[in-house]
Amino acid sequence: GAGVSQSPRYKVAKRGQDVALRCDPISGHVSLFWYQQALGQGPEFLTYFQNEAQLDKSGLPSDRFFAERPEGSVSTLKIQRTQQEDSAVYLCASSLYRAGGWGIQYFGAGTRLSVL
């Protein structure tokens, strides 16, 4: 596609529910990133894939957060047993270059998660 696509755009979950957020990166982009953006703040890094390999998951806040990119294209961020503090916008970005390069990242519109 022309840009990074994320779905759903909005998700409301009851506390304790599991959610799955999808990211479709730009075709051919090697790198894929997930960020979490709290209201009024800048995005914070969650995890990074190079093709299907998850090379950095240092930003995942707890073991309730899990991400995968099994075929090196579409990625899913899963949050188990959601809690109110998980409420945020989850942004996906893709980049043509590998880690260590000069990657300009192209962002999707994000998924706004509200946990009630």
Partner 1 sequence: SQQGEEDPQALSIQEGENATMNCSYKTSINNLQWYRQNSGRGLVHLILIRSNEREKHSGRLRVTLDTSKKSSSLLITASRAADTASYFCATDREYGNKLVFGAGTILRVKS
DSSP secondary structure string, 25-69? Answer: --TT--EEEEEEE-TTS--EEEEEEETTEEEE-TT--STTEEEE-
Q: How far is CA 114 from the centre of its chain?
A: 15
- 57 is an interface residue for partner 1 by CB under 8 A: no
Q: CB under 8 A: which stretch of 17-25, 62-70, 72-80, 93-101 binds partner 1? A: 93-101
Selected binder of partner 1 within 91, 94, 113, 115 (CB under 8 A): 91
Binding site for partner 1 (CB under 8 A): 4, 6, 31, 33, 35, 40-45, 48, 56, 59, 91, 93, 95, 97, 99-110
